[in-house]
Each structure stands twice: as C-alpha cells, then as structure tokens.
Chains A and B, each alone.
Chain A
Amino acid sequence: DTGVSQDPRHKITKRGQNVTFRCDPISEHNRLYWYRQTLGQGPEFLTYFQNEAQLEKSRLLSDRFSAERPKGSFSTLEIQRTEQGDSAMYLCASSFRGEAQPQHFGDGTRLSIL
C-alpha cells in the first residue's frame, strides 16, 4: 500500500493559464474524491468518482473546473483560465465503497496564482 499520490506538490502559475493535477489513488479503492482547502478552513468537496464514473459535482465547481478518471484508476483535475481565487491546496482522497470506509488523503497540490 503506497498511499494516495498527488503530482505536482506545488504549482505556481500566472492568472489565466490552465493547470492540471494528477492523483493516483490506492489501487484497490474504487472511490476517488477531489477537495479544495484554503487556509484556516476544512476541505471543501469538489467532485467524486466511483470507478470511472463521475457521480457528483459540487455546485461550487465552476465550468472552468473539469475532472476525469479514465479507466477508473488515476484521476486528473484541470482548471482552465485560472483566477486569483483558485489559489488553494487541492486534495485527492480515495476509499473503498461502504458507509464506514474512511477516505485516505494524498499530500495535496498547492496552487499559487500570481
């Protein structure tokens, strides 16, 4: 069990640029989640996959955000035309299906918009 892996750890980009983050979940887990966390706040749900199907998206997720999980393994989160307010830590988590199953988190990708 190598844990949830996220890449890159840090991303600095200029406003208006597109960015893409990658998440490799724990291999046996069929559920994958993306969260955003800003300073002093708890993680905020963005979207969720069960296998390759994106089953839920937060209403807070603008059209500039898109996520994929091809083949039900790794996932990517893309932010187009980045804005200052997108600066945050983006966390990925994975879990087994089941109500008592906790989510296992990666170390996150910290995005800074210049």
Chain B
Amino acid sequence: AQKITQTQPGMFVQEKEAVTLDCTYDTSDQSYGLFWYKQPSSGEMIFLIYQGSYDEQNATEGRYSLNFQKARKSANLVISASQLGDSAMYFCAMREGNTGNQFYFGTGTSLTVIP
C-alpha cells in the first residue's frame, strides 16, 4: 500500500484565491511527522510546513496551513491568497516513528495559479 497518496495530479486556482491540496497517509505508528514541500520548475525542493502526529493544533506558516484530520489520516495543505509564484509541484511526505529515518513522498500535485 502507498504510504502517501496525493489524488490530484493537477490543480488550478485563480490568483488571490485559496486552494486545498489533498494528502492521505497510511501508517500504524502512533508517532509520525507530516511535511509539505514545494518544487518549482527550477527543481529545488523547498520545505513549507510540518505537522507532528501529537500536535493538537493545525500547523500554520504564513499563507500555508495544514488541515490535519488524524482519524481520517489526512493532512491537506491550504494555501491562502494564491500568488503566481505559487505555481509548482507540491509534495506531501511522512516520516514514521520517533526516530524514523525514511521519508515517504507522494506523487505530487501540480498547482497552476491563473492571473
């Protein structure tokens, strides 16, 4: 089974609107971490936001927030007030366990912001 599932290969959003990118995960560990990365066309992977499995509050970083629903095993990324520079691939990733060494990445969602 896939550890991380991103079901939206491509998404479009109007500039200044909000967009939600979906991510579901599969683990039997009680302790795990969830990460979102952005990969522009230039190729570098940029860390955006982190959510720990024991965190009760949803993580926020500027225009990024993570809608964490533990029972549903989902960790959706919400980008508010989209900007043209947000156009990129977005990857959800999970680290299992307290000292998990592996990060599992999803297949990504390509976001295009329309002016």
Spell out A's residues near B (CB within 8 Å).
31, 33, 40-45, 48, 50, 55-56, 58, 89, 91, 93, 99-100, 102-108
Contacts and interface: CB of A to CB of B under 8 A. Distances in A.
B52 A42 contact: no
B47 A102 contact: yes
B26 to A, nearest CB: 15
Given A102-B47, A102-B50, A42 B105 contact: yes
Interface stretch (B68-76, B77-85, B94-102): B94-102
Given A91-B45, A93-B45, A40 B35 contact: no
Interface string B12-44: 000000000000000000010101010000111
A20 B35 CA distance: 30
Nearest to B54: A99
B102 A108 contact: no
Contacts of B46: 105
A99 B31 contact: yes
B108 A42 contact: yes
Max chain A C-beta neighbours (<10 A), residue from B93, B98, B105, B107? B105
A45 B50 contact: no
A24 to B, nearest CB: 15
B11 to A, nearest CB: 15
Contacts of B104: 45
A55 B101 contact: yes
A100 B105 contact: no
Given A42-B91, A42-B107, A56 B102 contact: yes
A107 B42 CA distance: 8
Contacts of A89: 43
A43 B103 CA distance: 9
A99 B95 contact: yes
A42 B106 contact: yes
A48 B104 CA distance: 13
Contacts of B47: 102-104
Contact of A99 (B99, B105, B106): B99
Q: Which 10 residue pairs of A and B lie closest in terms of their CB atoms, listed nearest first?
A: A42-B105, A105-B45, A102-B47, A48-B101, A56-B101, A43-B105, A45-B102, A42-B91, A107-B44, A42-B106
